[in-house]
Structure 1
Amino acid sequence: MRTLRERKLLVATHNAGKLDEMRAMFAPHGIEVVGAAEMGLGEPAETEDSFVGNARLKARAAMQATGLPVLADDSGIAVDGLDGAPGVRTADWADTPSGRDFMQAMTRTWAELDARGVPEPRTAQFRATLLLMWPDGEEAVFEGVAPGRLVWPPRGALGHGYDPMFVPDGDTRTYAEMSAAEKNRISHRARAFALLEQVLA
């Protein structure tokens, strides 16, 4: 598999939480990480019906705009009792006229499980797809999954997105009750990143 030898990498996200996680993960490898917002890039519409499709769309747009190697992430939560929803539409469930509101998304998720009469434990998986694209268009895909369960009410003030209602298997705390270092050791994104590390020079 091709090795990433460049020391500067564009992470195609406007999500500050994801960007902080990526900076922490790449720092030990001496790779400088810049975000899409810092480069003045817009956010392409996520029109694909798969995580890898959306990641590829974001990576290609950012690579063509900057000529840098790009890492794009598409991730979300798949709830078993909702037939895998919201899945690739995780961010869409948080959309409001004034921006993204994940408390709204979490409330909707729990309410829909109630409406279906889904018993506890209400299982779910966080899924992350990392797509690394070189300036010549070659790409490599790395996927990570973290199984767990949902809790209500949400707990914890750390993290982002659905973190306050997700308890990973093997723990009693939500992602939002963990420090960034603790979460980064076990998260879906960390599992995908462990595979990506194999191509870092």
Structure 2
Amino acid sequence: MPNGDTVVYTIASFGTFGFENGIFTKISGTGSIPTVMIFSKPKDGNYVFEAYKEPMDGSYYVDSLKKLFPKRLHKQVLASQESYQEVIEQLEQQAKEYLQTIGREAIVQAKHVEKKLSTIHVEASNKIFAEHTKFDQFLNDCPYWIGTRERVENGIRYIYKTEQTLDTEGFDVIIFSKTDAHGNIIERREYKIVGPEPIVVKK
């Protein structure tokens, strides 16, 4: 640039990883985003971050992208989703390196992990997973699928689990639990599903 700034053109992605069903997977983040970063370099020789830019959303996307990137890069950045597999591989490699630092081994998968949902009455399911979770932090932290998720709270790792089983009368029962890494139960709740109604049987 005329003023001596350094411009970096990238296709970037951000991902937050967590354990779901024992798999270290991307639980939130972005797809591939064309980005522009500008750095200045004062006399001391250290680069200083000055600006970060992304294309505008919607119908303005293509025009704003072309304004941000030089013409020689238009074809590449317009096809940025085609580069997403390479970005995914980089995210997974970083996740594997992180697991090594905490001494854990697990399958690493940035792409969506298929999950098994409960098979209880639809109305009962909606009441538990859509309504009750709004006002109950414990239920909200438990998986909406049949399986597990891990959370670190105040530096301590907890495992939240959702199970489905049958009681002795043949009614579906949904069990929510929170345990520590040693299997000690911190909190547990059971719902007996009677038609469209989830009934708390153990809290």
TM-score normalised by L of structure 2 = 0.22
Higher RCO (Cα < 8 Å, 6 or more apart): 1
User: Which structure has the larger Rg?
Assistant: 2
Higher helix residue share = 1
TM-score normalised by L of structure 1 = 0.22
